[in-house]
Amino acid sequence: MLQNDVRERRIRLGWSQEELAGRSGVSRAGISSIETGRLVPSTATALALASAMGTTVEALFHLPGSRPALGAEWAWAPPSLPCRFWRAEVGGRLYLYPVEVSATGLVPHDGTARVDGRDERGRSDPSRTLVIACCDPAAGLLAAELARQEELRLIVLPRSSASALELLDRGLVHAAGLHLARVDEPEGNAPAIRSRLGGDRSWGLLHMAGWDEGIAIDPGLDLGTIQEIVEARLRWVVREAGSGAQQCLDELLGSTGNRSGRKGPRAFDHRGVADAIRGQGADAGICLRLTGDEAGLRFLSVRREAYDLCVPAGSIDEPRIRALLRVVRSGPYRQLLGDLPGYETARTGEIQPVDATP
């Protein structure tokens, strides 16, 4: 007799039978019969239920004694123990992610790992969790809309463009954010995808926004133009190699033929750059207009960049990615994003296919 986990997964999602019926198109009576084992679903019904619940037919239905073993593994080693972690399913594998603080704030954890084992609380369904690596300081808006519109949890790992693509290449995240090209470049971020990911795989670039990146500077400095700023001997905030901000800074200082600027503190994201300047640990740095304005700094735009999310082409039809597309293309999200200083949303939601070779 075919067994299933429909009721267990439905309860974890906090849904009634009526809600699942509405989402899947299967009648409430049919769902009740399937949950109690009185009805073996057709292939179409099983697919509809699995799609609605953000999982696979194989994970939802199984023969007695053949339940698939989905053992959890660390995405990377925890920095120390005890360590709080999140759980998420990516590419059919269950990963544990050490908790980090990002633009979405401190997301509730799913358990704690200790030297003598793990305490898992099961607060969130791993198959209803989306993991993105990016440096977007406005990622909290996306998380809020995914939760409101699709009842999906978003975990945002704060990473530079290069580091985000590395995690995507290793299959540890669903999507990677990058901004390594100007909005007016013909292929946008596609060349960066080909050079950094390579291989014979195909990808999709989901356009999130065009945003202003430029110089944030202490408003007390009497420097009026970009030329005056780059020629002055200032303490510049440093970002890691492979980040869009450091790429912009290298191009900016290199274009003047003057590299007299001194290295200041190192920052790991756009808000970190603004905080370093506001705290007087540095005089200037490269960040987004949004974070410069938030910190009350003077901002001079250097370039408008294409900020995209890269996803494997084969995952476009995965339920969580489809939900991501719906939210990004929705009016409420685009309005929230367009209200931010320096964000432009005319092409938000467009997908650019990227093949292995141009």
How does pLDDT run across 73-109, given as a tens digit for each residue?
A: 899 999 999 999 999 999 888 999 999 999 999 999 9
Fold of 3-62: 434 Repressor (Amino-terminal Domain) (1.10.260)
pLDDT of residue 116: 80
Q: Please give the average per-residue pLDDT across 278-302, as a whole number.
A: 97
**Shortest CA distance to 75 belongs to which of 92, 91, 94?**
94
212-305 matches 72-209+306-354 in CATH topology = yes
Task: Determine the pLDDT at residue 6.
Answer: 87
**Phi and psi torsions of 212, nearest 5°:** -85, 120
Residue 193 banded pLDDT, cuts 50, 70, 90: very high
* pLDDT at 274 (0 to 100): 97
Give the pLDDT of residue 67.
45
User: What would the mean pLDDT of 283-311 be, rounded to a whole number?
Assistant: 97
Please determine, for residue 280, whether its predicted confidence score (pLDDT) is greater than 80: yes
Contact 4/61 with Cβ under 8 angstroms?
Answer: yes
- The CATH number of the structural domain formed by 72-209+306-354 is 3.40.190.10
Average pLDDT over residues 201-208: 95
Q: Contact 287/136 with Cβ under 8 angstroms? A: no
pLDDT tens profile 322-339: 999 999 999 999 999 999
CA dist., res. 26 & res. 46, Å (int):
10
Q: What is the mean pLDDT of residues 44-53?
A: 87
Q: pLDDT at position 237, please?
A: 95
Do the Cβ atoms of 214 and 300 come closer than 8 Å?
A: yes
Topology of the domain covering 212-305: D-Maltodextrin-Binding Protein; domain 2 (3.40.190)
Q: What is the mean pLDDT of residues 299-306?
A: 97
Against a cut of 0.85, is the pTM above it? Answer: no
Is-contact 53 9, C-beta < 8 A?
yes
Residues sharing a CB contact under 8 Å with residue 353, sequence separation 6 or more, in sequence order: 202, 203, 204, 205, 313
Which of 217, 192, 240, 218 shows the shortest CA–CA distance to 354? 192
Residues 6+ apart with CB under 8 A from 146: 130, 152, 153, 154, 323, 324, 327
**Cβ-Cβ contacts under 8 Å for 218 (sequence gap 6 or more):** 277, 280, 283, 284, 297, 298
Please state the domain extents for the chain. Answer: 3-62, 72-209+306-354, 212-305
